[in-house]
């Protein structure tokens, strides 16, 4: 068993926004040379802030740009070059079922994908470079689209006996290239529903599904268990062998080889809404797992052990990681229910 690391979080800066928001992201938009903080707000506006240049707990976030989606409260946000014009595009989903794509600061396309809230967005990319934007909503609909066309759509669990009694809601999505014990790797969209099922989809078709110990509300890829604990440990670039599954009951389980390990990785005993990975700094190739949700803290785990936690002002709605001070290490940016955004540095 690896010895416990002595780590702690330091608050680099925090800011209370005047606008209510549900989701944040960090990235270089519209061919900028420096990254900015992108905030999806309840008034349907995406706000871009300059990130503070130095660590200052009272630093101000300078508003640079507002992007009007002309839609409802924003529930999901993703940054990616989906237009392949060489710059980062902004894709948002709102509570009215509309997906809006911004390119170079302008609305490129708005699509009404359903009559339900678009709570999840992922960009699915295959080995040949083809991609699609996958949207999941509270009505159990999955839609994959491109800026000017629809790729596929399906109803989650429509081909199962479960659909006869209840239409499941999409709780979380993850697009990843997964490896099996046979060494084969393919890209999948993983969808967790509110019926304790995890669905594996390819091109709109459910190719596999498994029962989960709890309703999965957050997922992320990484290396969480040792090679002795799992059947497969594929080290090819971009190929994932393990996925952390965060549950509404506070549990975290690890999935590998399309099976959920029966032993819990950890349990925070309160609903989880966010999971994120930080690279290993221990020398054992095991990543660090960030856990946040309906509690006023961010927990950090390594090898199933709680390494440290950081108190934050309120429950965490949204969380992302990025190297915002350009020191080669990723920081943690969290958005809380009281409209506070905090940047945390691990030391």
Kindly report the CATH class assigned to 168-311. mainly beta
In this predicted model, what pLDDT tens digit does every residue of 167-180 receive, in sequence order?
789 999 999 988 76
Under the banding of pLDDT at 50, 70 and 90, the label for residue 276 is: very high
Under the banding of pLDDT at 50, 70 and 90, the label for residue 3 is: very low
C-alpha span between 87 and 334 (Å, rounded): 25
C-alpha span between 221 and 35 (Å, rounded): 23
Contacts of 137 (CB under 8 A, 6+ apart): 93, 97, 113, 114, 116, 117, 118, 119, 120, 143, 169, 170
Residue-level pLDDT at 33: 61
Asked if residue 1 has pLDDT above 50, the reply is no
Asked if residue 63 has pLDDT above 80, the reply is yes
Pair 341, 15: CB distance under 8 Å: yes
Pair 292, 272: CB distance under 8 Å: yes
Long-range CB pairs of 196-202, under 8 A, 24+ apart, other chains included: 197/157, 197/160, 197/162, 197/168, 198/245, 198/255, 198/260, 199/156, 199/157, 200/258, 201/142, 201/154
Read off the tokens for 11.
Answer: 């608050």
| Mean pLDDT, the chain, integer | 89
Residue in the block written with tokens 């902004």: 90
C-alpha span between 125 and 118 (Å, rounded): 20
C-alpha span between 133 and 130 (Å, rounded): 11
Number of helices (H), then strands (E), in the chain:
0, 29
Residue-level pLDDT at 40: 98
Residue-level pLDDT at 293: 97
C-alpha span between 60 and 54 (Å, rounded): 11
In this predicted model, what pLDDT tens digit does every residue of 180-236 receive, in sequence order?
666 678 899 999 999 999 999 999 999 999 999 999 999 999 999 988 787 654 455
């Amino acid at each position: 068993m690896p010895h416990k690391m002595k780590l702690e979080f330091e608050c680099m800066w925090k800011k209370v926004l005047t606008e209510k928001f549900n989701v944040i992201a960090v990235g270089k938009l519209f061919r900028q040379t420096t990254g900015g903080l992108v905030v999806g707000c309840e008034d349907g506006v995406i706000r871009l802030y300059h990130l503070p240049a130095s660590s200052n707990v009272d630093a101000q976030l300078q508003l640079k740009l507002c992007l009007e989606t002309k839609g409802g409260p924003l529930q999901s946000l993703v940054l990616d070059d989906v237009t392949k014009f060489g710059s980062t595009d902004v894709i948002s989903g709102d509570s009215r079922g509309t997906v809006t794509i911004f390119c170079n600061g302008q609305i490129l396309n708005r699509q009404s994908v359903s009559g339900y809230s678009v709570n999840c967005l992922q960009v699915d990319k295959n080995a040949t470079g083809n991609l699609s934007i996958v949207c999941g909503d509270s009505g159990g609909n999955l839609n994959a689209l491109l800026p000017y066309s629809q790729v596929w759509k399906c109803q989650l669990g429509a081909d199962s006996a479960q659909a006869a009694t209840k239409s499941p809601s999409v709780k979380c999505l993850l697009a990843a290239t997964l490896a099996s014990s046979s060494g084969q790797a393919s890209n999948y969209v993983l969808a967790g529903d509110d019926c304790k099922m995890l669905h594996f989809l390819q091109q709109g078709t459910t190719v596999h599904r498994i029962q989960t110990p709890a309703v999965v509300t957050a997922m992320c890829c990484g290396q969480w268990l040792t090679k002795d604990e799992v059947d497969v440990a594929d080290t090819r670039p971009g190929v994932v062998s393990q996925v952390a599954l965060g549950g509404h009951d506070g549990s975290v389980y690890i999935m590998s080889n399309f099976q959920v390990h029966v032993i819990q990785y950890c349990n925070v005993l309160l609903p989880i809404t966010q999971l994120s990975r930080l690279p290993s700094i221990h020398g054992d190739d095991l990543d660090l797992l960030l856990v946040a949700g309906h509690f006023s803290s961010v927990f950090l785990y390594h090898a199933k052990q709680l390494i440290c936690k950081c108190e934050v002002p309120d429950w965490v709605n949204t969380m992302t990681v990025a190297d915002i001070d350009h020191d080669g290490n990723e920081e943690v940016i969290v958005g809380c229910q009281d409209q506070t955004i905090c940047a945390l540095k691990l030391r």
